Amino acid sequence: MNNEQFNDRNVNDGYFMVDIEDYPTDGWGKFKRAVKRTFRGELFVGLWVVLREMIRFDIHTVKYPEEKMPIGPRYRAVHEMKRLWESDAERCIGCGLCEKICISNCIKMDTKIDENSRKEVSEYTINLGRCIFCGYCAEVCPELAITHGGEYENASDQREHFVMYEDMLTPLDKMTAGTQQEFEGFGAITPHEDERVKTTPLAY
Amino acid sequence: METAYLIETVIKIVVILLIFSALAGIGTYFERKVLAFMQRRLGPTNVGPYGLLQVAADGIKLFTKEDIVPTNVVGRIFKIAPVITAATAFMAAAAIPFLPSFTLFGYEVHPIVADINIGILYILGIMGVGLYGPLLGGMASANKFALLSAARGAAVFISYEVVTGLSILAPIMMVGSLSLIDFNNYQIDNGWIVFAQPVAFILFWIAAFAETGRTPFHLIANDHEIIDGFGTEYSGMRWGLFFIGEYANMFFISFVIPLIFLGGYGDGSLLGALALLGKVAFFFFFFLWTRAAWPDVRPDQLMWLCWKVLMPIAVLNILITAIVMM
């Protein structure tokens, strides 16, 4: 995808002021305008345009359940929790930043120290009834653990039921198959990040 | 009255009722499809092949819906209004020759229910009565949008009926009869009336749009201004009757225009019959075509158009025709 056509802000060519005649004030002027409009055939222009579109048959309908529009990689639908590529362990380190930054207070998490003296996430819930899908949690996450996914086809009695933590977490068989998708939206590492890293100035 | 004649007439009535009730449904299918194609959509596709059974699905929905009569309506008038629309639409069809007469099993069939000598007057009169449906339904509904629609209906009615009547007068003067069959036969010898009366043809066509309430003059049930107008409080089959009446009216007026102005079925051969059906198809298609292409006018613009523009032109047309005929 490239954005060149959207970034082109040069609007000077091809724009012009529409030539609008003054409205007639006297009866004769109004009469002349009515006659002119009657015989200029503007109505037939409209008829021709719709007939042309009908003959051209350039249909734009997406037959939704069978066909789907591709969604952007940055699309912010229901959240996903990612696993580490190396160990298949959960990426989440329980830092609580997402809980802190969430502007609609929908993320709740609980942590404990496990037997290896490491912080472990024991409870993690997202109340999707409150979530506004702003993407702050994905942006703030230092481990790229919580991200947004592309799953937008949810149906339930309540929005709270859309997703459980187990559903958000990448399943293990997907990890063994190596098909976990990285999120390209908020918080993700941009391409060519290495080239843009500046060395720390140690000269002084 | 002979028994054979009675049986024949009853059969004709039943056939016309069945065919045009079905055509009203199929007309909605074509309207959806044509409008969709003109707007680069697909229209109904899921029910049946190419969405053809959408009509059946709509019919089932209309028939099985709960029949709601709201609390504050004037019950009897509210209930009879849709019947007026549907019934008058089909009554008007009695004087329309749908096809040239043909022989079936050695029996000559005239595909007209009653060739009365005041045919056109009857058709226009009954179609005019049809406006009581929206008018009474709108006033009895106890709903402000329905009431607005009824008021508009009355305003539109007094505007276009003048144009319809006056524009049709010049061709009647030329033919000297009110029967549509006489119109047809006149045009076999003297050529299509549209060439002698182009102004009357255009005026009648414009008035037909107001008569059927189609898009440039779609004021009575203008969805984007007054919800569904007189149909706002109706549901189920009562609303369906309004619908059938509207579409049947479109078909009948599409028959009347070619019969009066465009030579009708000609000399009565098979080719002539097919030509009439082709003309009807064109006029029906044009109703859908304008709906995709043209904006609606305001009620005051329609009244301005009818009273200040079309009526003087129609009167002038009659005068000139009279002078030429003398």
Give the pLDDT score at B190. Answer: 82
Q: Is the pLDDT of residue A2 over 90?
A: no
Taking an 8 Å cut-off on Cβ atoms, the answer to whether B294 and A43 are in contact is yes
Residues of A in contact with B209 (CB under 8 A): none
Q: Which tens digits make up the pLDDT trace of A61-83?
A: 888 888 888 888 788 888 888 88
Contact B208, B163 (CB under 8 A): no
- List the domain range (segments joined by +) for residue B151: 69-325
| B40 lies within 8 A of chain A by CB | yes
Residue B200 and residue B167 in contact, taking contact as beta carbons nearer than 8 Å: yes
**Which residues in A lie closer than 8 A to residue B34 (C-beta atoms)?**
54
Residues of B in contact with A43 (CB under 8 A): 293-294
Q: Is A72 exposed, middle or buried (0-12, 13-18, 19+ CB in 10 A)?
A: exposed
- Mean pLDDT score across all residues of chain B: 86
- As beta bridge partners, residue A80 has A147
With beta carbons under 8 A apart, name residues in chain A contacting B38: 50-51, 53-54
- Written as six digits, the tokens of A91 are 């990426």
Distance, in angstroms, between B40 CA and closest chain A CA?
Answer: 5
For residue B1, what pLDDT is reported? 63
In Å, what is the CA distance from A117 to each residue of A110, A112, A113?
Answer: 16, 9, 5
Distance CA B292, CA B302 (A): 19
Asked which of A153-162, B173-182, B274-283 is least confident by mean pLDDT, the reply is A153-162
Among the residue ranges B61-65, B101-105, B201-205, B224-228, the one predicted with the least confidence is B101-105
Q: Quick check: A59 and B37 CB within 8 A? A: yes
The CA-based dihedral angle spanning residues A61, A63, A68, A74, taken in that order and rounded to the nearest 10 degrees: 40
Residue A126 phi/psi, 5-degree rounding, is: -120, 120
CB contact under 8 A, A47 and B42: no
Q: Is a pLDDT exceeding 80 seen at residue A109? A: yes
Q: Tell me, what amino acid is at A63?
A: K
Query: CA nearest B263: which of B197, B216, B324?
Result: B197
Complex prediction ipTM: 0.78
B54 domain residue, yes or no: no
Residues 6+ apart with CB under 8 A from A119: A93, A94, A111, A112, A113
Q: Look at residue B286 in the predicted model and tell me its pLDDT.
A: 92
Coil, strand, or helix at residue A121? strand
Best of A42, A50, A57 to substitute, by most chain B Cβ atoms within 10 angstroms, is A50
The confidence band for B319, taking pLDDT boundaries of 50, 70 and 90, is very high
Distance in Å, alpha carbon of B86 to nearest chain A alpha carbon: 30
Q: Does B293 touch chain A (CB under 8 A)?
A: yes
- Picking from A49, A52, A54 by the largest number of B CB atoms within 10 A of its own CB, the best residue to mutate is A54
Task: Report the residue of chain B nearest A58, measured CA to CA.
Answer: B40
Residues B137-173 as b/e (b if ≥16 CB within 10 A, e otherwise) read bbbbbebebbbbbbebbbbbbebbbbbbbbbbbbbbe
Domain-located, residue B124? yes
- Rounded Cα distance, B135 and B132, in Å: 5
pLDDT for residue B221: 79
In a domain? residue B137: yes
Tally C-beta pairs within 8 A across A and B: 37
Supply the DSSP symbol for A169: B
Which residues of chain B does A53 touch, with a Cβ-Cβ cutoff of 8 Å? 37-40
- Say what the pLDDT of residue A7 is: 66
* Partner residue facing B38 (CB), from A34, A50, A63: A50
| Residue B130 belongs to some domain of the structure | yes
| pLDDT > 80? residue B237 | yes
Classify the C-alpha dihedral B190-B194-B199-B204 as positive or negative.
Answer: positive
Residue B2 lies in a domain: no
pLDDT per position as a tens digit, A131-159? 898 889 988 988 888 888 888 888 878 87
DSSP state of A27: H
- Tokens representing B315 are 């009167």
Q: What residues contact residue A204 under an 8 Å CB cut-off, 6+ apart?
A: none
List pLDDT tens digits, range A7-17: 666 666 777 78
How many CB atoms lie under 10 A from the CB of residue B289? 20
At B52-76, the pLDDT tens digits run 888 889 889 888 988 888 888 888 8
Q: Give pLDDT, residue B25.
A: 83
Residue of chain A nearest B34, judged by CA positions: A54
Per-residue confidence band for A204, with pLDDT thresholds at 50, 70 and 90: low
pLDDT at A3 over 70: no
B266 has pLDDT over 90:
no
Q: With contacts defined as CB-CB under 8 Å, which chain B residues touch A54?
A: 34, 37-38
B325 DSSP β-pair partners? none
Structure tokens given for A146: 């919580």
Count up the domains in chain B and report the number: 1
Q: How far apart are CA A181 and CA A71, in angstroms?
A: 14
Which tens digits make up the pLDDT trace of B70-116?
888 888 898 888 999 889 988 888 888 887 777 777 777 777 777 78
Res B315: pLDDT: 93
Residue B56: inside a domain, yes or no?
no
| Portions of chain A given CATH number 3.30.70.3270 | 79-188
Q: Is residue B48 in some structural domain?
A: no
Interface mutation vs chain A, best among B32, B33, B39, most A CBs within 10 Å: B39
Q: What is the mean pLDDT of residues B18-43?
A: 88
Mean of pLDDT values over B183-209: 86
Identify the closest residue of chain A to B43 by CA–CA distance.
Answer: A61
Under a CB-based contact definition with an 8 Å cutoff, are residues B96 and B112 in contact? yes
Q: Which pLDDT value is given to residue A6? A: 65
Q: How far is A124 from chain B (nearest CA, A)?
A: 43
Q: Does domain A79-188 have CATH number 3.30.470.20?
A: no
What is the distance between the alpha carbons of residues B85 and B318, in angstroms, rounded to a whole number?
Answer: 31
CA A47/CA B286 separation, integer angstroms: 9
Query: What pLDDT shows up at residue B197?
Result: 86
Closest CA to A125 of A74, A161, A71: A161
pLDDT of B68 reads 85
pLDDT of residue A5: 65
Of B103, B124, B117, B272, nearest to B180 (Cα)?
B117
In percent, how much of chain B has pLDDT > 90?
8
* Whether pLDDT at A178 is above 70: yes
Contact at 8 Å (CB) between B253 and B280? no
| Out of B73-77, B146-150, B213-217, least confident range | B213-217
A54 and B45 in contact by Cβ < 8 A? no
d(CA B50, CA B30): 11
Cβ <8 Å between B293 and A49: yes
Alpha helix positions (H), chain A:
4-7, 27-39, 42-56, 97-101, 136-140, 165-168, 172-177, 193-196
Q: How many helices (H) and strands (E) does chain B have?
A: 14, 2
Helix (H) or strand (E) holding B298: none
Inter-chain contact A57–B45, Cβ cutoff 8 Å?
no
Residue B177 covered by a domain: yes
The least confident of B73-87, B177-191, B280-294 is B177-191
Distance separating alpha carbons of residues B33 and B45, to the nearest angstrom: 9
- With an 8 Å Cβ cutoff, is B309 touching chain A? yes
The reported pLDDT for the residue numbered A103 is 92
The residue of chain B with its CA nearest to that of A54 is B38
Chain B hits for A52, CB-CB cut-off 8 Å, are none
Q: What pLDDT score does B111 carry?
A: 77
Distance CA B303, CA B158 (A): 9
